[in-house]
Structure 1
Amino acid sequence: MAKQRRARAPVRSATVDAPEARRVAVAPEWIVVALAAFGLLLTGYLTAVAWWGTSPALCTEGSGCDLVQHSRWSTLLGLPMALWGFGLYLLIGLVALQRNGRLRRWRRLWTLSLVGVLISLYLTVAGLAALDAVCVWCLLSFATLVAIFVVVVLRRPSSAPGTPWQRWLIHHAIVLLPFVGVLHAWQSGLLEPPENPRLQALAIHLEQSGAKFYGAFWCPNCQSQKDEFGASANRLPYVECSPNGRNGGVAFECSSAAVTAFPTWDIRGQRFTSVLSPEELARHSRFAWNAPRWTASGDEAPR
């Protein structure tokens, strides 16, 4: 009996250790790592030129690339959008290098790459809709994320996604679609704080005093001028000079006023072709900027 017990001991030990034996390290997803490394170089370069205040190569002044790179769509929470992309590529690369848990690694790569594709798609569509322009560097990053997503899908483990596909997709849709919606609301200025009474009064005063603000929807400086007024921007006496698209004809009101640069301000017979601060606009239009209170119609300073 003692001999039989000693003979069974190794068999029992092998059974207990079987799960550990099945935890075999898997090779990193080298194709994904390579694509993520390319994305890091790309977004790192775009982040550097954004911080240096210069334009990327191939982005000549006035080109679609230049317009996108200097628009509100190129930043998020005060940081270059390329920097957020750099962080995403870094996460993807680190996850692709993991050697344990092939299914878990696949699930994470699928989610991260899908997030990147959706955000890049949104930014591309937003640039076309808001600026009538696209950026070749942004399209290159978009193509890189699509390539990563395709590779991840093609290299799916047989057990993936680990839950029924319908539930897997619904869970992602519940999270990602509202996320893109919030991103759009933020980038479009829909989440701006309430109107500042002084800026509101100044905008109304400019309208009532006959001032004109000539601009174009695709002009980054025009958008910067509107941003000076926050939620009161829609009260400005704005004249759209490109109603037929970026390559369309100039509006008659702008051509008849001999407007050749954007933005152009026409205030009390004076013309200014630059972004003006609210204080400057108040001074040129004789608005009581330092008055203790402002009414809905705006107050003029004594002449």
Structure 2
Amino acid sequence: MPRKQSIPWMHRWSRPLIAGIATLGAVVTAYLTYTKLTGDAAACPTKGCDIVLSSPYATVFGQPLALFGFLAYTSMIVLAIAPLLVSSSRNQIRAQIEAWTGLMLFLGGTAMLVFSIYLMYLLTFEIQAPCIYCIASAILSLSLFVLALLGRDWQDIGLPLFAGGLVAILVVVGTLGVYANINNPAIAESNPTQPLPGGYTITTTSGEAEIALAKHLAKVKAIMYGAFWCPHCHDQKQLFGQEAVQYISYIECDPSGINPQPQRCQAANVQGFPTWSINGQTVTGVQTLEELAKLSGYQGSRNFKNVESLRS
């Protein structure tokens, strides 16, 4: 009697592993989506994560890019566990679902890997800021691709190679099309779903310390680069308040904004919003008033009233 051929461990465990890895990715992207929508600072050892989240690349069709990542990871979870939910007694139906979802897992993994490679390119050469969450997501995407490729017995390897190549081409073309207007994050085009060129309304009021700091920043010729649609720029202005923000030397980088100066933003190599230029130093992301006071050499009162007044 011939011995029953054993099933490779990769084939047995690929789907549970894919579901587990995709769940981790879903948690990460859900957190980044929440951070982007609320304007909170990301829990990150460097400011790279906030720089990435404040860049135009982090928004697609008016929604956080991380939201689309969350949907992609969630889809991978569903595809991975779908056959496992079918009773083993219904072998034929389960086999059909395994075959269909197996191909979809590979195509999904291919799409996520190709897009992650492009994002790594952006991090390295365009945004030039380290983001541990982005790097982690790229590693997870690579893991999903490998498991989807090696986690089943392909009867005809030509099918996944052809379909995967087609998906890769579509992802590259689609991605380049979405980001076609972003030659430099500093001069990104505005999105029609964003606020009017005047930007978000400043709802906080200023205390004497905020006004004094703003006047000091103007005196030392500190410059804030931003875009009218940028929620992080709005958060920064909220910290100063209505009265103080009038003294800030603000440069609008989006050509669709009011009094835009995209050439100055490009010349300053602005890579994310907001970006501050203070005493020869450049910092990106929302800065606390204490940090701005320190960078600018401000010696006045630091009894700031808007320390926690961020966009709701």
The normalised TM-score by structure 2 is: 0.54
Pairwise mapping of residues 1-303 of structure 1 onto structure 2 (< 5 A)?
Answer: 29-60=15-46, 63-99=47-83, 100=94, 101=96, 102-161=98-157, 163=159, 165=161, 167-188=162-183, 189=188, 225-227=252-254, 229=256, 236-238=263-265, 240-241=267-268, 258=279
Q: SS of 1:227's equivalent?
A: coil
Q: Contact 2:252 / 2:262 at 8 angstroms: preserved in 1?
A: no
1:32 CA displacement: 0.7
1:223 CA displacement: 11
Q: Distance in 1 between matches of 2:53 and 2:225?
A: 16
Is the radius of gyration larger for structure 1 or structure 2? 1
1:153 CA displacement: 1.1
Higher mean C-alpha displacement, 98-107 vs 86-95: 98-107
Q: Distance in 2 between matches of 1:46 and 1:164?
A: 32
Q: SS of 2:36's equivalent?
A: helix
**Kindly tell me: are residues 174 and 239 of structure 1, through their superposed partners in 2, closer, same or farther at Cα, counting changes over 3 Å?**
closer
Q: Distance in 2 between matches of 1:124 and 1:223?
A: 31
1:235 CA displacement: 5.8
**Kindly tell me: are residues 259 and 81 of structure 1, through their superposed partners in 2, closer, same or farther at Cα, counting changes over 3 Å?**
same
Q: Quote the sequence identity (%).
A: 22
* One-letter amino acid matched to 1:121: I
Q: Contact 2:251 / 2:265 at 8 angstroms: preserved in 1?
A: no
Q: Contact 1:110 / 1:153 at 8 angstroms: preserved in 2?
A: yes
Q: Distance in 2 between matches of 1:231 and 1:181?
A: 28
Greater RCO between the two (CA within 8 Å, min separation 6)? Answer: 2
**Kindly tell me: are residues 28 and 223 of structure 1, through their superposed partners in 2, closer, same or farther at Cα, counting changes over 3 Å?**
farther
Q: Contact 1:216 / 1:241 at 8 angstroms: preserved in 2?
A: no
1:136 CA displacement: 0.5
Q: SS of 2:113's equivalent?
A: helix
1:168 CA displacement: 3.2
1:169 CA displacement: 4.5
Q: Contact 2:106 / 2:164 at 8 angstroms: preserved in 1?
A: no
Q: Contact 1:68 / 1:135 at 8 angstroms: preserved in 2?
A: yes
Unaligned 5+ runs, structure 1: 1-25, 200-211, 247-253, 264-303
**Kindly tell me: are residues 147 and 115 of structure 1, through their superposed partners in 2, closer, same or farther at Cα, counting changes over 3 Å?**
same
Unaligned 5+ runs, structure 2: 1-11, 84-93, 199-220, 234-248, 285-312
**Kindly tell me: are residues 113 and 231 of structure 1, through their superposed partners in 2, closer, same or farther at Cα, counting changes over 3 Å?**
farther
Q: Distance in 2 between matches of 1:157 and 1:52?
A: 45
**Kindly tell me: are residues 89 and 187 of structure 1, through their superposed partners in 2, closer, same or farther at Cα, counting changes over 3 Å?**
farther
1:126 CA displacement: 1.1
1:156 CA displacement: 2.9
Q: Distance in 2 between matches of 1:242 and 1:118?
A: 27
Q: Distance in 2 between matches of 1:34 and 1:179?
A: 28
1:30 CA displacement: 0.9
* One-letter amino acid matched to 2:267: E
* One-letter amino acid matched to 1:38: L
Deviations 1:82-120 (A, max 9, x none): 111110001111011121322221210011111111222
Q: Contact 2:252 / 2:259 at 8 angstroms: preserved in 1?
A: no
Equivalent pairs counted in the alignment come to 209
2:217 is matched with which residue? none
1:238 CA displacement: 4.8
